[in-house]
Amino acid sequence: MEKTRIWLDTDIGDDIDDTLVLEEILRNPSLDLVGISTVFKNTPLRAEFASRMLRAAGREDIPVLTGSPSPIRGLTPVRPHETFSQWDLEERTPDPGAFLEEAKDPFLVPREILKRAKEAPLTLLAIAPLTNVARTILADKGGILKSSRLFLMGGEYREHRPEWNLECDVEAFKVILSSGLDIRAVGLELTEKSTLSPAEERILERTGTDPLADFRREAVRRFQKSTNWPITPHDALALYMLLKEEKLDFLPVRHEIEEGTVDGQVRGWLKEGKEVPGMKFLASIDMEDLHRFVLNLGI
Ligand SMILES: [Ca+2]
């Protein structure tokens, strides 16, 4: 079977779900991960985190690129729990090293994604604010991305509520909606229901014996200790959707963005609008099967 060429755009290093997604991708024999880009705030540190994870997996051949730290327009929202929750405990936050230099070039990530998409059709998996992806779409003057696909976690499609990845870069989400690309999205209304039980969390804490599993176990431990939150694997639904698309039900996206300003910050959410060509959102999901997928981790 031909492998799916995948590019991961991620804000790995805060919530644990991006870490779980990257591990699953690395372990999945049907996926060929051709590159990773980081986005939102401390992108050099996120890149260092991802590259350490690749090292644990023995996959230093996969490029990790430092993407946009701030949205296309407006301010970066702040939420109270914002730390590099998987790293800040007990040891000093590591030095992002060479990734700091890379962060100065806002066109680095678009250039590299377009280069890969030109070689062969590419599947973009976006599990973070959509700044990098939007910049890539804007830079794609030759229509290279028309043969590629985009799977994303972002938006809320049922109740007009704000969702983090959308509101962190409202302008970027508008670019996504007007891109005409072949897009499958999963919204907060489904992902927020994916919280693992304490017993399931314990499975994540002990599964696997290789260095990649060790890395994840330590990340889970630190996440739990610093946040004291249950694990809600929002982003895993986007990868699940990518892998099981044919068995899932989608609805056409008939939405547009409504904007408001709260405390001087631009906020945005989806409301009903005209049909967005090429874009569909996941209608429902079997949570038991999703949890089996999250906990299996291909081990
Ligand atoms: Ca994420």
| Domain definitions of the chain by residue range | 4-296
Q: Label each residue of the chain as H, E or C.
A: CCCEEEEEEECCCCCCHHHHHHHHHHHCCCEEEEEEEECCCCHHHHHHHHHHHHHHHCCCCCCEEECCCCCCCCCCCCCCCCCCCCCCCCCCCCCCCCHHHHCCCCCHHHHHHHHHHHHCCCEEEEECCCHHHHHHHHHCCCCHHHHCEEEEECCCCCCCCECHHHHCCHHHHHHHHCCCCEEEEECHHHHCCCCCCHHHHHHHHHCCCCHHHHHHHHHHHHHHHHHCCCCCCCCHHHHHHHHCHHHCCEEECCEEEEEEEECCEEEEEEEECCCCCCEEEECCCCHHHHHHHHHHCCC
Distance in Å, CA 252 to ligand 1 centroid:
24
**What pLDDT does residue 252 have?**
98
Distance in Å, CA 199 to ligand 1 centroid:
23
Distance in Å, CA 118 to ligand 1 centroid:
26
More confident residue, 267 or 34: 34
Distance in Å, CA 17 to ligand 1 centroid:
6
**What pLDDT does residue 103 have?**
74
178: its two tokens: 């007007």
**What pLDDT does residue 70 have?**
87
Distance in Å, CA 10 to ligand 1 centroid:
6
Distance in Å, CA 21 to ligand 1 centroid:
9
Distance in Å, CA 3 to ligand 1 centroid:
24
**What pLDDT does residue 239 have?**
98
Mean pLDDT throughout 118-128? 97
In this predicted model, what pLDDT tens digit does every residue of 166-214 receive, in sequence order? 998 999 999 999 999 999 999 999 999 999 999 999 999 889 999 999 9
Distance in Å, CA 117 to ligand 1 centroid:
22
With 70 as the cut, is the pLDDT of residue 234 above it? yes
Distance in Å, CA 92 to ligand 1 centroid:
23
Distance in Å, CA 240 to ligand 1 centroid:
14
Distance in Å, CA 154 to ligand 1 centroid:
10
With 80 as the cut, is the pLDDT of residue 83 above it? no
Distance in Å, CA 213 to ligand 1 centroid:
19
* CATH C-level class of 4-296: alpha beta
pLDDT band at residue 281 using 50, 70 and 90 as cut-offs: very high
pLDDT band at residue 73 using 50, 70 and 90 as cut-offs: confident
Distance in Å, CA 192 to ligand 1 centroid:
13
Mean per-residue pLDDT over the chain, rounded: 91
pTM: 0.94
Q: What distance in Å separates the CA atoms of residue 27 and residue 296, rounded to the nearest whole number?
A: 10
Distance in Å, CA 9 to ligand 1 centroid:
9
Distance in Å, CA 233 to ligand 1 centroid:
9
Distance in Å, CA 294 to ligand 1 centroid:
15
